[in-house]
Chain A
Amino acid sequence: KQEVTQIPAALSVPEGENLVLNCSFTDSAIYNLQWFRQDPGKGLTSLLLIQSSQREQTSGRLNASLDKSSGRSTLYIAASQPGDSATYLCAVGPLNQAGTALIFGKGTTLSVSS
Chain B
Amino acid sequence: SQTIHQWPATLVQPVGSPLSLECTVEGTSNPNLYWYRQAAGRGLQLLFYSVGIGQISSEVPQNLSASRPQDRQFILSSKKLLLSDSGFYLCAWSASKGYTFGSGTRLTVV
Q: Which residues of A contact B (CB under 8 A)?
A: 32, 34, 36, 41-46, 49, 89, 91, 99-107
Contacts and interface: CB of A to CB of B under 8 A. Distances in A.
Contacts of A34: 98-99
A49 B44 contact: no
B28 to A, nearest CB: 13
Contacts of A102: 46, 99
Interface of B: 6, 32, 34, 36, 42-44, 46, 49, 51, 57, 59, 88, 90, 92, 94, 97-104, 106
A104 B90 CA distance: 13
Given A99-B51, A100-B49, A101-B34, A43 B44 contact: no
A99 B106 CA distance: 26
Do most interface residues of chain A lie in helix, strand or loop, or is the interface mixed? strand
Contacts, number: 48
Contacts of B102: 43
A49 B49 contact: no
Do most interface residues of chain B lie in helix, strand or loop, or is the interface mixed? strand
Nearest to B102: A43
A58 B9 CA distance: 32
Nearest to B88: A41
Contacts of A105: 43
B46 A101 contact: yes
Given A32-B98, A104-B44, A41 B106 contact: yes
